[in-house]
Structure 1
Amino acid sequence: MSLASQLDRYLAVRRSLGYDLRTSERVLRRFIRFADDAGAQHIDADLFLRWDASQPAAGSSTRSARLGMVRLFALWLSSVDLAHEAPPRGLLPDRTIRKRPYIYSKVEIGDIIAAASELPSTYGMRGLTCSTFFGLIAVTGLRISEALALDTSDLDVATGVLSVRHGKLGKERLLPLDPTVVDRLITYTTERNRLLGRASTPLFVRCNGDRLSEWSARASFARVSRAIGLREYSRFKRHGKGPRIHDLRHTFAVRTMIDWYRMGKDPAREMIRLTTWLGHASPDHTFWYIEAVPELLELAMARATRIGWEAQR
C-alpha cells in the first residue's frame, strides 16, 4: 500500500479510538506529499529531517510536535512493516518535553504507605497523615495541591463522595470513592481528632493541627523513598532525585488505562470518564499517557492494528 493509503487507515483507526486529529492530519499529509515527491517508500529519521528542513521556520515546540506526529505514524507502520523506522524521540531539541512518568508497582505503593506510617513524630501524627495522604493520591489520582486543600467536610460519608473544590484552573469535581477508601478516611479522621483533642477543618494536618504543607509532604515522601530504596541519599540536595509524589497520580491513570485494554473496553468511551475524573482540561492531556508509557503505547498500537485489519476484511 502507498504511504497515502496507509495514512488514511491510520487516521481512521485513531479516530475510532477517540482522537481529535485535525492538526495531525494536516501535518502528516504535508509529510506524505514530501515523501512521495522524494520517491520514499518507507519512513525513517533521515526522511523526517529532510522534510523538517523544507518547512517554514518554526519554534522548537512546533518542530517537536511535528516529530511526535510523524513518529507515532511510523511506529504504527513499523508494526506491520519493519522497513519503517520511527524517528527517535529526542531527534529534535524541545524545552517543553514532559518528563516520562515513573509508574509504581503495587508492591512499591504498598511499601511507600507502610514506610510512611512509620515516620517519626511526637504524637504519631506525621506517620498517620502521610500514609493516608499518599494512599489517597494513589487510589484517586488527585493532584498534590488538590489533596492538600481538602477539608474534612469535603468527604460525604453517607454517599462516599469526595468534593474536590480546588482543582486546576478553579474547576470543581465530585469523585465517588470505593467503600474501602471511605472507611480508611473515617479511621484516619477519628484517630486524627483523638490525637489533636478536637475536630479539624483541614483533612490532612501536621502535629500542631496546621494544614499539611506541600514542602512537608514532599520532604516526608523523599525520606520514605530513600528508606525503601527508590531514591539515593543526596548530600547536597536534601530531597535527592527519583520518583515523585505526582507519579502516584500518573500511576493511577496508566494502570486504569492498561486495565481498559486488557478487559477489552472501548478506550474512546472510557477516556472521557478518566479525563473528567482527573480534572484535565482536555482529553489530549490524558491521551499523553499513551505516548509516554511504552506498555500503554504497545497495547494501543496492538488494538489499532487489530481494528485496522478487521476493517480490511
Structure 2
Amino acid sequence: MTMLTESLDHYLELRHNLGYKLADAGRLLPRFVAWMEANEQPTVTIRHAITWVELQPAQPGSVVWPHRMTAVRGFARYLSGIDPATEVPPIGLFPSKRQWRPPFIFTADNITALMDQAHRTLDSRLPAATYSTLIGLLSVTGLRIGEAIRLDGADIDLTGGVVLIRESKFAKTRNVPLQPSTVAALRAYAAQRDKHLPTPITTSFFVTVGTAPSSVDSKG
C-alpha cells in the first residue's frame, strides 16, 4: 500500500466519522490516487490536479470539472499536514457556470396562506390539521421537513416544551425549545389526532387518515 492510498483511507474514514456522506469524494478520489500512482507521482500538486480533472470530458457549464477539483482540493488540504510539499489547488480554477438562485423566504403572510390552504383543500378532519400544524412547526422552529415528519410522540415533550431531534444531519441529536404558543398548538393537534385515531398503528406524532391510519410520510 502506497502512502497516498493509506492517506486516502485515513482521510475518508475521518470524514465519514465526522458525519459526511462522501458521495463524490468516495467515488472520485480512489480514481485520482490510482492515476497518481500509475504516473508514479507521490505528491499532489496543482498541475497534477488540473491534469487529472481535465481527463474527464466536460461540456461548457458542466459541473463535472468543479466537482472533481473540489474532491481533490479537500484531500490535498488533508495531505498538506502530512507532506509539506503538497500543493492545495485554489478555489476558482474550475468555477461552476450554473446560475445561483436565491432561496425564497416565506413571510408570515405566506405561511398563514399555506396553513389556510391546507384547511381549504384537504379533508376537514385530520389531514388538514396535520399539514397546517406541520407547516406551523416548521416555520417557528426551523426544523428540516425530514426531521419533523420523523418525530414520534415520545420526541415531543409538551410539558417541558422541548422537541428531541434524533440523529439528524451528521448523525447529531439535539433539543429544540418551543414557545408556549407552539406547545398549545401541538397539544390541540394531539387532542384532535387522538380523537380521530384512538388506537393508532404508528408511533408518529404527525399522522393522516386514508384507507388506514398512516404517518405523514412513508414512516409507520
TM-score calculated relative to the size of structure 1: 0.39
- Tell me which residue corresponds to 2:216: 212
**Aligned to 1:118, what secondary structure does the other structure show?**
helix
Q: Which has the larger radius of gyration?
A: 2
CA RMSD between the two structures: 3.1
Q: More strand by proportion, 1 or 2?
A: 2
Counterpart residue type for residue 149 of structure 2: L
- Which consecutive residues of structure 2, in runs of 5 or more, have no partner in the other structure? 1-45, 54-64, 71-89
Other structure's SS at 1:163 match: strand
**Equivalents in 1 of 2:134, 2:198: separation in Å?**
20
Task: Judge which range, 179-188 or 101-110, deviates more.
Answer: 101-110
Partner Cα distance (1:190, 1:98) in 2: 44
Q: Per-residue deviation at 1:214?
A: 6.3
TM-aligned CA distance change 1:206 to 1:144, over 3 Å: same
Q: The residue matched to 2:163 in structure 1 has which SS? A: strand
Q: Which residue of 1 aligns with 2:198?
A: 197
User: Residue in 1 aligned with 2:91?
Assistant: 66
- 1:148 maps to a residue whose letter is I
| Count of residues paired in the alignment | 137
The letter of the residue matching 2:113 is D
Aligned in 2, Cα 1:214/1:103: closer, same or farther, shift over 3 Å?
Answer: farther
What residue number does 1:103 align with? 105
Structure-2 residue corresponding to 1:186: 187
Q: 1:117 aligns to what SS in structure 2?
A: helix
Go from structure 1 to structure 2 and tell me whether the alpha carbon gap of 1:194 and 1:161 turns closer, same or farther (over 3 Å shift).
same
Q: Distance in 2 between matches of 1:166 and 1:130?
A: 23
Compute the displacement of 1:98 (Å): 6.8
Q: Is the 8 A contact 1:146 1:166 kept in 2?
A: no
Secondary structure in 2 matching 1:66:
coil
Distance 1:101 1:187, change over 3 A: same
1:177 & 1:139 partners in 2: Cα distance? 8
- Contact 1:148–1:214 (CA<8 Å) still a contact in 2? no
Give the aligned residue type for 1:60: P
1:249-260 aligned within 5 A: none
With over 3 angstroms needed to count, the CA separation of the structure-2 counterparts of 1:146 and 1:115, relative to structure 1, is: same
Letter in 2 for 1:93: S
Gapped runs of 5+ residues in structure 1? 1-54, 69-90, 216-313
Q: Counterpart in 2 of 1:120? A: 122
CA distance in 2, matches of 1:183, 1:166: 26
CA distance in 1 between counterparts of 2:164 and 2:184 reads: 16
* Contact 1:119-1:126 within 8 A present in 2 as well: no
Number of the residue aligned with 2:147: 146
Q: Secondary structure at the match of 2:206?
A: coil
Distance in 2 between residues matched to 1:114 and 1:102, nearest whole Å: 19
1:93 is aligned to 96
Structure 1 or 2: more helix by fraction: 1
1:193, distance to aligned residue in structure 2 (A): 0.6
Alignment of 1:148-297 (within 5 A): 148-198=149-199, 201-207=203-209, 208-213=212-217
Q: 2:100, 2:106 → 1: CA distance?
A: 18
Aligned amino acid, residue 217 of structure 2: S
Q: Structure 1 residues 169 and 204 mapped into 2: Cα distance closer, same or farther (>3 Å)?
A: same
Cα shift at 1:60: 1.6
Higher relative contact order (CA 8 A, sep 6+): 1
Listed as ranges, the matches of 1:41-56 within 5 Å are: 56=47
Task: Give, in whole Å, the separation in 2 of the partners of 1:149 and 1:67.
Answer: 39
TM-score of the pair, normalised by structure 2: 0.54
Tell me by how many angstroms 1:99 deviates.
5.4
CA contact (8 A) 1:154 1:164 kept: yes
Structure 1 pair 161–126 and aligned structure 2 pair: CA distance change class (3 A): same
**What SS does the corresponding residue of 2:175 show, helix, strand or coil?**
strand
Partner of 1:158: helix, strand, or coil?
A: coil
